[in-house]
Amino acid sequence: MTTTSPAAAFARGAYPYLRTHADRAYLDSAATSQRPDAVLEAEDTFARTEYAAVHRGSSMATGEATWAFEGARESIARFVGAGEREIVFTENATDSLNVVALGLSDAALFGAPELAIGAGDEIVVTAAEHHANLIPWQRLARRAGAALRAVHVDAQGLWTIDDLAAVVGPRTRLIAFAHVSNVTGLIAPVAEVVQLARSVGALTVLDACQSAPHLPLDLGALGVDFAAFSSHKMLGPTGVGALFGRAELLDSLPPARTGGSTITTVTLEGAEFLPAPQRFEAGTQPVTQAVGFGAAADYLSGIGMDRVRAHEAELAGLLVDAVLSVPSVRLFGPGAGAERAGLVSFVVDGVHAHDVGQFLDDRGITVRTGHHCAQPLHRALGVAATTRASAYVYTNADDVARLGAALAEVRAFFGADR
């Protein structure tokens, strides 16, 4: 297990990218996070000394590699309050959400009629979703002849449990929503959504892509049916993600991808699938990345997610203050003082979001610009693009101060004050 002292984990020195670019303020962790030495070393050690095929074969090499791979699954399960059989390795959160949607669309054909969504049923999303948690449901709805209903968001991109309740009805079969918005930083009332979903017999799918890295998360206690998250946003490598599903649901959900390693028996006519998680892990898995993902979960557990959240809540306050201290900046999401995740999306009146991003980049401040894969949300905000600054464990007050100082100059630079 990879452990670290919390103090070291909050210091930039633990992260090779940040050491290499000591002059940069990296404020783009909501897009992807930087890996600490401990995670890179775990990947490297596995690749150099334990790398072999997993699950297939009876050699000692396979046994050792399988031990590391399954150990990573255990770490991730522990990290999010799941049972080991409830964590499936996927490519990323996008893939996890597609696995659920594609599986449900095949439910009637492949022995899970209780999960089938049919004509006249309803799937509910919010208008604030990342495209990864929208397009798979559009496809499922179309295949099933079901209706896709969206929860209204206000001009700040916010929605409440009452807004959701207004859309949920007796035909609602599934509610898919982000735990934390990657644009507004809004933290959804998950327990209340689960309660509402249960009251009408609907499944819940939680997009935990922006919450698993940043908040203490106990999926078992929250009671969601499925959840999706990515390794690369939580100090791990790209190429691997996780799907959480309640064990009994995963055991009956048809696998989206079929092939080797997923089956008990195959005949020329058909196949019987293994229980979860193996039924979903078709073909050779990204084993080295999975080991890195497990090391990242251990690393974050070692810091303590309460500490991570406290650090980011403080940075969120600083980010809000930095942005609001600049005249002619419009900040979206929860108002000043309200709870939000450690990110801010904003526009500077009179200057395009991409120009703001370029201006900041020229001053060594890395941010993200664009619609952040949330076009319907940006439509509701009334802008085509925003500039987003996002924090993580290694972000410090200095990074935020640099952002604030640079933003104070941006309108003058582009002549917007004249």
Residue number, 9 or 93, with CB nearest to ligand PMP: 93
93 binds ligand PMP (CB under 6 A): yes
Piece of the chain touching ligand PMP by CB under 6 A; list 66-74, 88-96, 166-174, 387-395:
88-96
Asked if 345 touches ligand PMP (CB under 6 A), the answer is: no
Report if residue 92 touches ligand PMP, rule: CB under 6 A: yes
Asked if 386 touches ligand PMP (CB under 6 A), the answer is no
Give the integer Cα–Cα distance in Å for 101 and 94: 11
Strand extents, DSSP E, 16-65: 25-26
Task: Supply the minimum distance, in Å, between the C-beta of residue 180 and ligand PMP.
Answer: 7
Does residue 188 bind ligand PMP (CB under 6 A)?
A: no
Does residue 126 bind ligand PMP (CB under 6 A)?
no
Candidates 11, 31, 161, 373; catalytic one:
373
Q: How far is the CB of 372 from ligand PMP (least distance, A)?
A: 7
- Indicate whether 133 belongs to the interface with ligand PMP (CB under 6 A): yes
Question: What residues between 198 and 227 interact with ligand PMP by CB under 6 A?
Answer: 207, 209-210
Please tell me whether residue 369 binds ligand PMP under the rule CB under 6 A.
no
Nearest-Å Rg of the Cα atoms of the chain is: 22
Nearer to ligand PMP, 214 or 402 (CB): 214
Residue 209 is among the residues annotated as catalytic for this protein: no
Q: Which residues pair with 400 in a beta bridge?
A: none
Give which of 24, 46, 22, 16 is closest to 363, Cα–Cα. 24
238/328 with CB nearer ligand PMP: 238
Q: Does 256 bind ligand PMP (CB under 6 A)?
A: no
Asked if residues 68 and 46 have their Cβ atoms less than 8 Å apart, the reply is yes
Query: Least Å distance between CB 78 and ligand PMP?
Result: 21
The verdict on whether omega for the bond into residue 255 sits within 30 degrees of 0, i.e. cis, is: no
Nearest to 134, CA basis, from 163, 93, 166: 93
How many chain residues touch ligand PMP (CB under 6 A)? 13
Query: Could you tell me which residues come within 8 angstroms of residue 260 by beta carbon, excluding any fewer than 6 positions away?
Result: 56, 282, 283
- Interface with ligand PMP by CB under 6 A: which range of 33-41, 69-77, 89-97, 295-303? 89-97
DSSP state string for 9-22: HTSGGG-HHHHHTT
CA dist., res. 238 & res. 224, Å (int) = 25
Minimum CB distance to ligand PMP smaller for 196 or for 206: 206
Q: Does 130 bind ligand PMP (CB under 6 A)?
A: yes
Q: What CA–CA distances, in Å, run from 142 to 11, 113, 122, 177, 375?
A: 48, 18, 11, 19, 20
Which region, judged by CB under 6 A, interacts with ligand PMP, from 9-17, 67-75, 86-94, 275-283?
Answer: 86-94
Give the nearer residue to ligand PMP in terms of CB position, either 274 or 373: 373
Candidates 64, 28, 11, 21; CA nearest to 367 is: 28
Out of 94, 204, 252, 289, point to the residue binding ligand PMP (CB under 6 A).
94
Task: Give the span between the Cα atoms of 407 and 348, in whole angstroms.
Answer: 9
Instruction: List beta partners, residue 365.
Output: 25
In 3D, which of 303, 316, 340, 310 has the Cα closest to residue 79?
303
Residues tagged active-site? 373
Positions touching ligand PMP (CB under 6 A) are 92-94, 130, 132-133, 178, 182, 207, 209-210, 230, 373
